[in-house]
Amino acid sequence: MTDNTRRSKTLVLDFDNVIHSYTSGWQGVDVIPDPPHKGAFAFIERAMANYDVAILSSRSGVEAGRFAMAKWFVKHGFRADAINWRECQDAAPDPASTIDPNSAEGLARRFNDLPEDMRPARLLSFPWTKPPAWLSLDDRAMQFNGKWPSMEVIDNFKPWNVRERKPRKAQEPAQEPAQE
């Protein structure tokens, strides 16, 4: 059983190069050509059992970017009914208008408006801006430890996937016991 005090905490996950492998680089706000990093969805599913999970990106400020990320999740096997589709749109549509079933609102009506007993306990969210977070996971961030970094440290920062890998120390052979 999950500790209820953890339910209100939000885990913010960066999208590009954290969840999305981003091997093709930036292709546009709504163009996401690469697969997820190995283990990303399994991690998110585990996290959703304990936290509210929000996906954030430089794409998040634009409706097309939020919707593209949500569709990318489904394309790669994430459950469509576990996504908050309403957060993918900028404004509620006119109730009198015809709703495209493949639009964010059409998907919200199909998945998010299910009876409560048929919905997942939590929905993966795609906010426009960074919500108050318990913790953020990002490939381009440094943890503030109370001391300001030098400009040199900032200038030399490299995300995890472009850092030079330090060679592992060769394991020294076990010493033979001294003979008497």
pLDDT of amino acid 167: 59
pLDDT of amino acid 4: 47
Q: Compute the radius of gyration of the chain from its Cα atoms.
A: 21
Cβ atoms 7, 53 nearer than 8 A: no
Domain ranges in the chain?
Answer: 4-155
pLDDT by 10s per residue, the chain, length 180: 444 444 479 999 999 999 999 999 999 999 999 999 999 999 999 999 999 999 999 999 999 999 999 999 999 999 988 998 888 877 665 666 667 777 777 777 777 777 767 667 788 999 999 999 999 999 999 888 899 999 999 999 998 888 766 655 655 555 555 554
Cα separation, 49 vs 60, in Å, equals 24
Residues 6+ apart with CB under 8 A from 149: 142
Cα separation, 76 vs 26, in Å, equals 19
Structure tokens at 141: 């961030």
The DSSP annotation for 67-129 comes to HHHHHHHHHTT--GGGB-GGGGSSSPPPTTSPPPTTSHHHHIIIIITS-GGGS-S--BB--SS
Secondary structure of residue 152 in the 3-state scheme: helix
Residue type, 90: D
| Nearest of 74, 77, 140, 139 to residue 102 by alpha carbon | 74
pLDDT of amino acid 46: 94
pLDDT of amino acid 108: 76
Structure tokens at 96: 């009198």
Residue type, 81: D
